[in-house]
């Protein structure tokens, strides 16, 4: 293919992509070239872009590279391979599907590319966890990823001769994730149907400017210039706990801070004039983090105004500033299960707390800060359930903490002397045990991080200072213990189980901390 002239007469950049010659305009990153110029949707931008999430990992001359911080000029004359051109991509995708190593599928194309480049002697659990230092995953809790790679390494996939009907798998995923979700090997290759991946190629691009207004460009690069986008930073400012524990004679007290949901795919939508906007949910609801639907309304308005399809994209900084957070609270509980909770004013929060703790007095307070929502995973009721579960008798004869969710699912958890997490879950008919197990491992990982390491620095004026995806304290693979899950057989109506597991593991982790008053217990 002959390279066409680039901007200002500069020659285009020519390279080989997945075995075929291509050329793109000069300037920008390899990620921009792949997604915006060549329409390759398997590479993803999760960190907006700062080389922090690994979702855009490809091979350059056979070596893994994070494409969002690789100038496209550096690949001139070289060979670039995406997961679309990986010779054994189908083997990897099947293993991830069979082991539950991919839920939403946003991060897994990059993970597969990293692991497929590992030497055979590094495909063991320790080697994979070390390789994952370049990646982030919010859904799976890492262990199913390690197991998926192991299945490829030994050349023997798990026995899924009893694989359920795909509709049953997707029903279980929807119960656990809160929105309709695709399940299958295509998901691991990034083809689950994310909002920005499905936008028309000729759509205008809208970004939010520093003053909060939406600006529209012909291309993503132009929109970035018009918006004046400034890359976020990770602050050295300490975490703050915005609410004091109410006075009382408490057996247990708890304070929580601002926490970022930290889903990998930033919110996005698109719309054609007079049409219905694409949901930001795509192939995952971000555990309640994408319920507002604001971007869809913006996409519709801008499409109608411009008479063309418009892509509306939230940057990572936008997600932090404008995305909903679980309401911070401070609470005390008495031995009889009554207590008082002071919580950031949030629609529905009092009902959520009282749904599991009718003996709690709920006082909503106004705090300068970020948007809050009860749509986030178990917001309110999980904190209340954890406070009540902390009162359960505990000892060598019964080392488990058990929580029943409002929907009927039951989770129990214990953490042994080696730090391994053990989980039991009863969620009615499992429908697909692999999917249910994957979500429960992910819930355990999220709960452990919530209690021990996750927090967002927000100042007294309510301004967030942590604006990069590595700022939020999400547990890395190397820091995540083994998580064992036992599914309690049942033929009852299927219900959500992972949220109850989330609460049970949070209780066990809190107990292991010695009932520290404030989460995260290892605050910076």
Task: For residue 239, tell me if it sits in a domain.
Answer: no
Q: Are residues 137 and 181 in the same domain?
A: yes
The verdict on residue 320 lying in a domain is no
Quick one: pLDDT at residue 2? 33
Closest C-alpha among 389, 400, 453 to residue 424 = 400
Is beta strand 329-333 parallel, antiparallel or unpaired with respect to 252-255? antiparallel
Q: In whole angstroms, how large is the CA radius of gyration of the chain?
A: 23
pLDDT value at residue 4: 39
Residue ending a domain, among 33, 62, 81, is: 81
Q: Are residues 393 and 472 in the same domain?
A: yes
CB 185 within 8 A of CB 96: yes
Q: Which CATH number belongs to the domain containing residue 112 in this structure?
A: 1.10.150.120
> Are 478 and 351 in the same domain?
yes
Cα–Cα distance, 59 to 77 (Å, whole number)? 14
Beta bridge partners of 414: 422
CATH number (domain holding residue 447): 3.30.365
Residues 62 and 169 in one domain: no
Residue 467 and residue 339 share a domain: yes
How far is CA 507 from each of CA 94, 183, 444, 451, rounded to the nearest angstrom? 35, 30, 11, 9
Q: In whole angstroms, give the CA distance from residue 83 to residue 214.
A: 33
Contact in structure between 257 and 328 (CB atoms under 8 Å): yes
Residues 342 and 402 in one domain: yes
> What is the C-alpha separation between 265 and 331, in angstroms, rounded?
33
Q: Is residue 64 part of a domain?
A: yes
Structural domain contains residue 183: yes
d(CA 451, CA 392): 19
* 391 and 355 part of one domain: yes
Q: Nearest-5° angle of CA 386, CA 237, CA 241?
A: 30
Residue 168 CA to residue 450 CA, distance in Å, equals 30
C-beta atoms surrounding 79 within 10 Å: 15
SS3 of residue 36 by DSSP:
helix
Of 145, 155, 372, 88, nearest to 243 by C-alpha is 372
Same domain for 452 and 340?
Answer: yes
Q: How far apart are CA 380 and CA 354, in angstroms?
A: 9
* b/e burial code for range 3-38 (CB count within 10 A of at least 16 → b): beeeeeeeebbbbbbbeeebbbbbbbbbbbbbbbbb
My answer on whether 424 and 495 are in the same domain is yes
- 284 CB contacts (<8 Å, ≥6 apart)? 103, 104, 106, 139, 177, 179, 181, 192, 263, 265
**Residue range(s) defining the domain that contains residue 125:** 89-193
* Beta pairing, strands 63-66 & 57-60: antiparallel
Yes or no: say if 346 and 242 are a contact pair by the CB < 8 Å rule. Answer: no
304 and 169 in a common domain: no
User: Which of 479, 480, 472, 487 has the alpha carbon at shortest distance from 520?
Assistant: 472
User: Is residue 242 a part of any domain in this protein?
Assistant: no
- Indicate the Cα dihedral angle 354, 359, 364, 365, nearest 10°: -140
Q: Which of 323, 360, 206, 326 is nearest to 257 (CA)?
A: 326
Backbone angles phi, psi at 216, to 5 degrees: -125, 130
Q: What percent of the chain is helix, strand and coil (3-state, nearest 5)?
A: 35, 15, 50
Could you tell me if residue 250 is inside a domain? no
Name the one residue in this structure whose structure tokens are 């892509």. Answer: 311
Q: Is residue 106 part of a domain?
A: yes
Pick from 144, 171, 193: which residue ends a domain? 193
Instruction: Report the C-alpha gap between 213 and 230 in whole angstroms.
Output: 15
pLDDT (tens, 9 = 90+) of the chain, 524 residues, equals 233 344 556 799 999 999 999 999 999 999 999 999 999 999 999 998 989 999 999 999 999 999 999 999 999 999 999 999 999 999 999 999 999 999 999 999 999 999 999 999 999 999 999 999 999 999 999 999 999 999 999 887 666 667 788 999 999 999 999 999 999 999 999 999 999 999 999 999 999 998 899 999 999 999 999 999 888 888 888 999 999 999 999 999 999 999 999 999 999 999 999 999 999 988 887 888 988 778 999 999 999 999 999 999 999 999 999 999 999 999 999 999 999 999 999 999 999 999 999 999 999 999 999 999 999 999 999 999 999 999 988 766 689 999 999 999 999 999 999 999 999 999 999 999 999 999 999 999 999 999 999 999 999 999 999 999 999 999 999 999 999 999 998 889 999 999 999 999 999 999 999 999 999 998 65
Query: What CATH number corresponds to the domain at position 56?
Result: 3.10.20.30
Are 281 and 367 contained in the same domain?
no
Provide the number of structural domains found in the chain: 4
Supply 296's token pair.
Answer: 């869809």
In a domain, 505, yes or no: yes
Task: Round to whole Å and give the CA distance between 137 and 21.
Answer: 32
CA distances 142 to 108, 245, 476, Å, are: 11, 35, 8
Are 184 and 199 part of one and the same domain?
no
pLDDT computed for residue 172 by the predictor? 97
DSSP 164: P
Phi, psi for residue 176 in degrees, rounded to 5: -80, -40
| Per-residue confidence (pLDDT) for residue 224, from 0 to 100 | 95
Is 378 strand, coil or helix? coil
**Interatomic CA distance for residues 120 and 33, integer angstroms:** 31
């Amino acid at each position: 293919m002959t390279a066409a002239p680039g901007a200002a007469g500069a020659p285009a950049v020519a390279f080989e992509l997945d075995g075929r010659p291509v050329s793109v305009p000069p300037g920008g990153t390899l990620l921009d070239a792949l997604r915006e110029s060549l329409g390759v949707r398997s590479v993803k931008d999760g960190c907006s872009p700062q080389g922090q999430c690994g979702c855009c990992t490809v091979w350059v001359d056979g070596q893994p590279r994070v494409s969002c911080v690789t100038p496209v000029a550096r690949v001139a004359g070289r060979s670039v391979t995406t997961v679309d051109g990986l010779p054994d991509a189908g083997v990897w995708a099947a293993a991830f599907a069979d082991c539950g190593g991919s839920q939403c599928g946003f991060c897994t194309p990059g993970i597969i590319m990293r692991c497929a480049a590992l030497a055979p002697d590094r495909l063991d659990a320790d080697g994979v966890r070390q390789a994952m230092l370049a990646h982030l995953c919010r859904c799976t809790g890492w262990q199913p990823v390690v197991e998926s790679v192991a299945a490829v390494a030994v050349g023997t996939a798990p026995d899924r001769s009893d694989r359920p009907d795909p509709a049953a798998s997707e029903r279980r995923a929807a119960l656990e994730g809160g929105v309709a979700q695709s399940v299958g090997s295509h998901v691991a290759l990034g083809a689950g149907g994310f909002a920005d991946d499905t936008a028309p190629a000729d759509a205008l691009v809208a970004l939010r400017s520093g003053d909060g207004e939406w600006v529209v460009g012909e291309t993503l690069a132009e929109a970035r210039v018009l918006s004046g986008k400034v890359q976020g930073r990770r602050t050295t400012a300490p975490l703050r706990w915005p609410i004091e524990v109410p006075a009382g004679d408490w057996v247990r007290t708890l304070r929580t801070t601002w926490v970022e949901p930290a889903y990998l795919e930033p919110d996005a939508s698109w719309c054609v004039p007079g049409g219905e906007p694409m949901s930001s949910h795509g192939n995952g609801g971000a555990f309640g983090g994408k319920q507002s639907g604001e971007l869809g309304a913006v996409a519709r308005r801008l499409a109608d105004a411009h008479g063309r399809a418009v892509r509306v994209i939230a940057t990572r900084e936008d997600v932090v500033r404008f995305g909903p957070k679980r309401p911070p609270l401070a609470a005390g509980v008495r031995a009889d299960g009554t207590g008082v909770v002071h919580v950031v004013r949030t629609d529905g929060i009092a009902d959520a707390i009282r749904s599991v703790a009718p003996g709690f007095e709920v006082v909503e307070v106004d705090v300068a800060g970020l948007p809050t929502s009860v749509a986030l995973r178990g917001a309110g009721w999980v904190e209340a359930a954890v406070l009540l579960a902390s009162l359960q008798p505990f000892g060598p004869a019964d080392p488990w903490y058990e929580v029943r969710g409002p929907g009927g699912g039951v989770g129990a958890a214990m953490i042994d002397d080696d730090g391994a997490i053990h989980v039991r879950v009863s969620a009615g008919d499992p429908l697909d045990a692999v999917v249910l197990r994957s979500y429960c491992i992910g819930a355990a990982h999220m709960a452990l991080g919530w209690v021990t390491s996750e927090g967002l620095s927000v100042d007294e004026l309510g301004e967030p200072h942590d604006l990069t995806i590595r700022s939020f304290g999400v547990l890395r693979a190397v820091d995540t213990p083994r998580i064992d899950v036992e599914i309690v057989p049942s033929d009852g109506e299927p219900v959500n189980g992972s949220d109850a597991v989330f609460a049970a593991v949070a209780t066990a982790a809190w107990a292991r901390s010695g009932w520290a008053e404030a989460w995260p217990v290892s605050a910076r």
